[in-house]
Amino acid sequence: MTPYLTATEARTLAATLPADANMTALLALDDAALAAQLLGATIDLDVGGPYQGAKYDPSQEHEFPRAPYPGYVPPNWPSGQ
């Protein structure tokens, strides 16, 4: 399975977020260790369902992005939205 982000993409995204001890420790990892963490996070996300809707493209590897089922309205969705 391919992670949602590469180590380079994760470092670029992290640079836009507020720093904290966890982020600092994560970014201190070498690329191979960070890639392993990203793969673990991808697996956690992809098996965390069940999710609403369906894969945007049935042939895509991951559960996201997703498309809603036709006519689906989320529970408690404000009217007129």
The reported pLDDT for the residue numbered 78 is 66
Query: Cβ-count burial of 66 within 10 angstroms (0-12 exposed, 13-18 middle, 19+ buried)?
Result: middle
Q: What is the pLDDT of residues 25-68, one digit of tens each?
A: 998 999 999 999 999 999 999 998 888 888 888 899 999 988 88
Asked if 45 and 63 count as a contact pair (C-beta separation under 8 A), the reply is yes
The reported pLDDT for the residue numbered 73 is 65
The answer to whether the pTM exceeds 0.85 is no
pLDDT exceeds 80 at position 2: yes
Asked if 30 and 8 count as a contact pair (C-beta separation under 8 A), the reply is no
The reported pLDDT for the residue numbered 74 is 65
Domain boundaries, the chain: 7-67
SS3 51: coil
